Amino acid sequence: MERIRILKDKCTGCKLCVRACPFAAITIQDRKAVIDLTKCNLCGACVEACKFSAIELKKETAAKGTDLGLYKNVWVFCEQKKGKIQSISWELLGEGRKLADKLKVKLCGILLGSNISGAAAGIIERGADEVYVVDEKELENYLDEPYTNILVELVREYRPEIFLCGATTLGRSLVSRVAVKIYTGLTADCTGLDIDKETGNLLQTRPAFGGNIMATIITPNYRPQMATVRHKVMKEAAVQKGRKGAVIAKRFDKKIYASRTRLINMVDELEQTVNLCEADIIVSGGRGLGCADNFKLIRELAISIGGAVGASRAAVDSDWIPYSHQVGQTGKTVCPKIYIACGISGQIQHLIGMQSSDVIIAINRDPDAPIFNVATYGIVGDLFQVVPLLTKRFKEVCKK
Amino acid sequence: MDYLLNEQQVMIRDLARQIAKEKIAPVAAEYDEKEEFPWPIVKLLADSDLFGVYIEEKYGGIGGGVLELAICTEELSKACGGISLSLAATALGTYPIILFGNDEQKQKYLPDIAKGRKLAAFAITEPEAGSDAGSIKTTAKKEGDHYILNGTKQWITNGGEAEVYTVVAMTDKSKGARGASVFILEKGMKGFTFGKKEKKLGIRASATRELIFTDCKVPKANLLGKEGLGFIVAMKTFDKSRPGVAAQAVGIAQGALDFAVDYAKNRRQFGQAISSFQGIQFMLADMATQIEAARALIYSACRMIDSGAKDISKISAMAKMFASDVAVKVTIDAVQIFGGYGYMRDYPVEKFMRDAKITQIYEGTNQIQRNVIAQALIKESLK
Amino acid sequence: MKIIVCIKQVPNSADVKIDPKTNTLIREGVESVINPFDTYAIEEAVRLKERFAGTITIITMGPPQAEAALREALSLGCDEAILISDRAFAGSDTWATSYTLSSAIKKIGSYDLILCGKQASDGDTAQVGPGVATHLDIPQVTYVKKIEEINGEKARVERLVEDGYEIVEVSLPCLFTVVKEINVPRLPSLKGKIKAKAAKVAVWNAASLECDPKRLGLEGSPTKVMKIFNPPPRKGAVKITGEPEEAVDKLIELLGKDLPR
């Protein structure tokens, strides 16, 4: 018995499902839809698309042994580096607070490190009701295994229903392990989080299947519901001076700190002065620049408005500018106040990385370039004329 | 059009296409501008085994024939006719060994060439001997176990970069064309030096250089075939290599057409894409049709040659002549479609036009090709 | 050295175009390729083999068509290929996928190193590599940008992080996920392609793995897709036309207080 099937009497062969399928698994044969089960991923996109209820998908699986009611509260992993809490944690606390309020439960921060207990107050001031702190010499620097072991122990003991973590290099490595050990669901890079009013489930929304569609993902039968969020996607929680909360210090048996990896050294790369993710203004150049030399136009424009320099994949692949400047699916996700795209056509891979910027300005010769669909303002024109003029005007207007 | 390529030919085409698109196209303009030999690309081509497509498997090649070579040359030329020439000219320099070399000579030279570890070059042209090969002045005098070469070769593609040279020299001047012989020379032989590197209109990524022989001592074992076979070696070599020039021409033409179509779709004038204008459409249609006709002729010629047919000079010359004329015409039209942009070096099509011209000239001017074709026709009519 | 490389076949993102009318992806005719990040894992495996000798086993979980990705990997220098394919795997999330891959790796038996790309270009989760390591109970290093040293027992690698890199020592066997900076993947060779064409690709189904069938596919996946939808269409840019000077002035005016002053 297949989990998905076409109800032949209802199918009109209208092709809506063919277009909706992210895996190109549906074809029309003899005016009826046929699903190639070797390609089908049972995602249900076709069920949504069908106007005739002609596709049946058995999604429900028996609830697992987990007693969901035992799990309460929203947890946020508060990432620290060299004793400093990273701003991603403030963003997660902001979002976590909203979820906790909707569920009428507590928001808890999880803090691991060495000589770190003092930072707990700051987490409470950002909205946490409780902070679980594990403060040990062995936790000074991040290592997969001890950090994983501790989170697993904490989850088993205190049973949170939601567990959020930053989609940083640390977070992605850590919670992937935690979720597998606990046997629960983990949704990466959520762009939206909400609570389903009926079921109380966490609704985790993220771009799916490489781009222009969104999926809402749930973890109905397992707890905690784990999710990561990329930096700059959520708004930071405001500081509430003097806010009170509980700090719970935890200690573990020494063997929990055993690790088969050892950090030898950390090397800061100072040349990476461009921290694109943090920039409020970004000026990006793409294929339309034609050659590496012309990137100076972009740099001058960026300087004139106090912004950082970004680039499309096409520009990076042509070796016009290093990879660290790449914005997009395989580069960085940015969310500045102003994003200026010069000579970038707007391939979906690029748009994914910058489309949540507050104001997007596109400069392109081709009036049909997809970049204009996401832009706030678009100048249809030759960037070699427009950009130098804009640089000149910005210098006049934005002088400090 | 479906040319019913076999599995291996499709593999060659796809791999050459991938290299052209990913590795050659992005650097073509740069090498053209700098007039530099593209060693990094040659290394890539070597690692991909493409240098061995026309060389027998027992000598480390892939075991294909001139069709495989043509497919490969065409694909590479779509991105850059100059860079593709490093491979095509190596084939030209290698065919004398394939056709007339003894097993020892083949064992010694072909595996390195097939692997791309050594490039080859063919040297016949001299300042006074272009189309008139009978007036070659380079001499090879036999002295014991050696020949002593003296003279100068001109405009030798891959000159200076190649390790292996097949050189035509006169062993007996009194016999005219029948007194020519072909020798295998290696870079570094005493008395073998290089003259000036030429500055060219097009194919500027390829090296074109003078070879100078001053009492250059070449072992007897390096004579290809017999004394006096030189002219025949050259003619048989050209029969095999001319479809390669044709393929280079068609690749250049196709590369220019692809840019022209793309540009016509995107360039807007009078509120619409210029591809919607019939004047442009007719040009594109003519260009595409001529290219397809040239390609069909080349592939047929290659198949005839690879089948072992005897009289191949005519079809080989036809393919070279027709395809190179098409290349010049199509690339000029591509520049026309680009308008003012086409004339600018910041845009890619003027390079195709410059690169195309040489295909009408080298390996026998198109006038010589017509001679060859006509002579074959007359000869056939006498049968 | 025995190396296992896990790869995924994905739609070629360079091919993906958007239908400007419906704002949906045009999937027809999009070719499938090896996940770009996995190509670095393959290249690194081949380089290690060239340095230290050994074998490379390449595995993928996917539909029968994914065999093409395995053959491409074989043409680049991998020795054996295993396709893990069964309808029972359909609907797998990262938990079930990493469980399935780890079950296959247990069946392969011994190994020194497992290599994966840092993430797949279609899903972008970066969870499967660490998931496999966890199921196998081996250490991992993610975002590896350089393997400095490696011997039978230990490796020392550079791991890319946000503000530089870390030097990490790890005991073998272990799993690395690698980033673009680690190498420049080679192109296939004709002879490699010819050899790969003739090579045998093993196909393992669910029954051939020692695993709990309840942990496979949709049933074994804790996460479920509840809804799929197109992002709300953007209203599109306020287009500014006219001479460049006018256009720039108009833009400055529109930006108004958004500009830093």
- Residue B284 above 50 pLDDT? yes
Chain B contact set for C194 (CB, 8 A): 8, 11, 62
**ipTM strictly over 0.85?**
yes
Considering the four listed CATH numbers 3.90.1170.50, 3.40.50.1100, 3.30.70.20, 1.20.120.1810, the one that applies to the domain covering A4-57 is 3.30.70.20
Alpha-carbon distance A133 to nearest alpha carbon in chain B (angstroms): 52
Q: What is the pLDDT of residue A271?
A: 46
Considering the four listed CATH numbers 2.40.50.140, 3.40.50.720, 3.40.50.620, 1.10.1740.10, the one that applies to the domain covering A68-257 is 3.40.50.620
- Residue A62 above 60 pLDDT? no
B334 Cβ contact list (under 8 Å, min separation 6): B256, B257, B259, B260, B287, B342, B349, B352, B353
Asked if B269 has any chain A CB less than 8 Å from its own CB, the reply is no
pLDDT 10s digits, B157-186: 999 999 999 999 999 989 888 999 999 999
Neighbours of chain B (3+ CB pairs under 8 A): A, C
Nearest to B11 among C186, C187, C193 (CB): C193
Judged by CB atoms closer than 8 Å, whether chains meet at C190 and B62 is answered as yes
Region B32-39 average pLDDT: 95
Chain C residues 13-42 with CB within 8 Å of chain A: 13, 16, 18, 20, 22-25, 27-28, 30, 36
Nearest to B28 by CA among B98, B80, B90, B101: B80
- Residue C138 above 60 pLDDT? yes
Q: What is the pLDDT of residue A209?
A: 62
Neighbours of chain A (3+ CB pairs under 8 A): B, C
CA distance A203 to A200: 9
Q: What is the pLDDT of residue A4?
A: 87
Q: What is the pLDDT of residue A64?
A: 54
Q: What is the CA radius of gyration of chain C?
A: 22
Distances (CA, A) of B26 to A319, A350, C36: 10, 21, 19
Nearest to C126 among A172, A184, A269 (CB): A172
B53, B68 Cβ separation under 8 angstroms: yes
Chain B contact set for C189 (CB, 8 A): 47-49
- Residue B27 above 50 pLDDT? yes
- Can you read off the two tokens belonging to residue B70? 């043509």
B343, B336 Cβ separation under 8 angstroms: no
Judged by CB atoms closer than 8 Å, whether chains meet at B26 and A318 is answered as yes
Region A279-291 average pLDDT: 91
Closest residue in chain B to residue A315, using alpha carbons only: B26
pTM for the model stands at 0.84
- pLDDT band at A210, cuts 50/70/90? low
Judged by CB atoms closer than 8 Å, whether chains meet at B266 and A366 is answered as yes
Nearest to A187 among C140, C159, C223 (CB): C223
Closest residue in chain B to residue A368, using alpha carbons only: B266
Domains (ranges, CATH) in chain C? 2-220 (3.40.50.620)
Question: Testing the interface with A: which of C124, C177, C205, C239 to mutate, by most A Cβ within 10 A?
Answer: C124
B-C CB pairs within 8 A amount to 32
Enumerate helices (H) and strands (E) in chain C, giving the number of each.
7, 15
Q: What is the CA radius of gyration of chain A?
A: 24
Alpha-carbon distance A369 to nearest alpha carbon in chain B (angstroms): 10
Chain A contact set for C131 (CB, 8 A): 176-177, 179-180
Conformation bin of residue B284: beta by default, left when phi > 0, alpha when psi is -120 to 50 = alpha
State in Å, rounded, how far the first CA of chain B is from the last one. Answer: 36
Judged by CB atoms closer than 8 Å, whether chains meet at C224 and A220 is answered as yes
A331, A309 Cβ separation under 8 angstroms: no
Asked if B7 has any chain C CB less than 8 Å from its own CB, the reply is yes
Chain A contact set for C22 (CB, 8 A): 19
Neighbours of chain C (3+ CB pairs under 8 A): A, B
Asked if C212 has any chain A CB less than 8 Å from its own CB, the reply is no
State in Å, rounded, how far the first CA of chain A is from the last one. Answer: 70
Alpha-carbon distance A101 to nearest alpha carbon in chain C (angstroms): 23
CA distance B161 to B86: 9
Nearest to C189 among B8, B23, B49 (CB): B49
N residues, chain B: 383
- pLDDT band at A65, cuts 50/70/90? low
Is residue B210 annotated as a catalytic residue, yes or no? no
* Topology of the domain comprising B239-382: Butyryl-CoA Dehydrogenase, subunit A; domain 3 (1.20.140)
Nearest to C225 among A3, A44, A389 (CB): A44
CA distance C257 to B230: 82
CA distance B148 to B220: 10
Asked if B272 has any chain A CB less than 8 Å from its own CB, the reply is no
Q: What is the pLDDT of residue C261?
A: 64
Alpha helices in chain B (DSSP H): 7-19, 25-34, 39-47, 66-79, 84-100, 103-114, 230-266, 278-306, 313-338, 340-343, 349-357, 366-382
Asked if B26 has any chain A CB less than 8 Å from its own CB, the reply is yes
Chain B contact set for A366 (CB, 8 A): 266
CA distance B294 to B278: 24
Judged by CB atoms closer than 8 Å, whether chains meet at A37 and C87 is answered as yes
Judged by CB atoms closer than 8 Å, whether chains meet at B62 and C188 is answered as no
Domain spans, chain B: 7-118, 121-230, 239-382
CA distance A139 to A116: 10
Question: Testing the interface with A: which of C172, C225, C235 to mutate, by most A Cβ within 10 A?
Answer: C225
- pLDDT band at C227, cuts 50/70/90? confident
Distances (CA, A) of B129 to B151, B191, B215: 12, 22, 20
Q: Per DSSP, what are the bridge partners of residue B122?
A: B166
pLDDT 10s digits, C26-37: 666 778 899 999
Judged by CB atoms closer than 8 Å, whether chains meet at B19 and C194 is answered as no
Torsions phi, psi for B220 (to 5 deg): -55, -35
Q: What is the pLDDT of residue C232?
A: 67
- Residue A138 above 90 pLDDT? yes
Asked if C252 has any chain A CB less than 8 Å from its own CB, the reply is yes
Chain A contact set for B268 (CB, 8 A): 367
- Residue C22 above 60 pLDDT? no
Judged by CB atoms closer than 8 Å, whether chains meet at C187 and B50 is answered as no
Question: Testing the interface with C: which of A26, A261, A276, A304 to mutate, by most C Cβ within 10 A?
Answer: A261
Of all residues in chain A, what percent are helix, strand and coil, respectively (each to 5)?
30, 25, 40
Closest residue in chain A to residue B345, using alpha carbons only: A290
Alpha-carbon distance C216 to nearest alpha carbon in chain B (angstroms): 37
pLDDT 10s digits, C164-205: 899 999 999 999 999 988 999 999 999 999 999 999 999 999
Judged by CB atoms closer than 8 Å, whether chains meet at C24 and A213 is answered as yes
* Topology of the domain comprising B7-118: Butyryl-Coa Dehydrogenase, subunit A; domain 1 (1.10.540)
CA distance A238 to A225: 25
Instruction: Kindly report the number of other CB atoms within 10 A of residue A271's CB atom.
Output: 9
- pLDDT band at C70, cuts 50/70/90? very high
- Residue C231 above 80 pLDDT? no
Judged by CB atoms closer than 8 Å, whether chains meet at C164 and A267 is answered as yes
Q: Per DSSP, what are the bridge partners of residue C149?
A: C156
**Domain A276-397: top CATH class:** alpha beta
C252 Cβ contact list (under 8 Å, min separation 6): A393, A394, A397, C259
- pLDDT band at B146, cuts 50/70/90? very high
Closest residue in chain A to residue C243, using alpha carbons only: A381
Region B254-281 average pLDDT: 93
| Helix axes of C190-198 and C67-75: crossing angle, nearest 10 degrees | 130
Closest residue in chain C to residue B22, using alpha carbons only: C187
- pLDDT band at A220, cuts 50/70/90? very high
- pLDDT band at A272, cuts 50/70/90? very low
Q: Return the exposure string of A182-218: e unless at least 16 CB atoms fall within 10 Å of the residue's CB, then b.
A: bebbbbbbbbebbbeeeeebbbbbbbbbbbbbbbbbb
pLDDT 10s digits, A12-35: 999 888 888 877 889 899 899 999
Asked if C165 has any chain A CB less than 8 Å from its own CB, the reply is yes
Judged by CB atoms closer than 8 Å, whether chains meet at B62 and C191 is answered as yes
Closest residue in chain B to residue A320, using alpha carbons only: B26
**CATH annotation of B121-230:** 2.40.110.10
Judged by CB atoms closer than 8 Å, whether chains meet at B19 and C186 is answered as no
A140 Cβ contact list (under 8 Å, min separation 6): A113, A114, A115
Task: Check residues A335 and A120 and name the one with the higher pLDDT.
Answer: A120
Distances (CA, A) of A138 to A114, A141, A143, A256, B321: 7, 7, 9, 10, 78
- Residue A364 above 70 pLDDT? yes
Alpha-carbon distance B48 to nearest alpha carbon in chain C (angstroms): 4
Question: Testing the interface with A: which of B263, B268, B344 to mutate, by most A Cβ within 10 A?
Answer: B268
Q: For A220-234, B136-150, B208-222, B309-323, which range has the lowest pLDDT when averaged over its residues?
A: A220-234
Average pLDDT, chain B: 95
The domains spanning A68-257 and A276-397 adopt the same CATH topology: yes
Among the options B7, B186, B363, B380, which is catalytic?
A: B363
pLDDT 10s digits, A68-102: 889 999 999 999 998 999 999 999 999 999 999 99
- Residue C128 above 50 pLDDT? yes
Question: Testing the interface with A: which of B30, B34, B266, B274 to mutate, by most A Cβ within 10 A?
Answer: B266
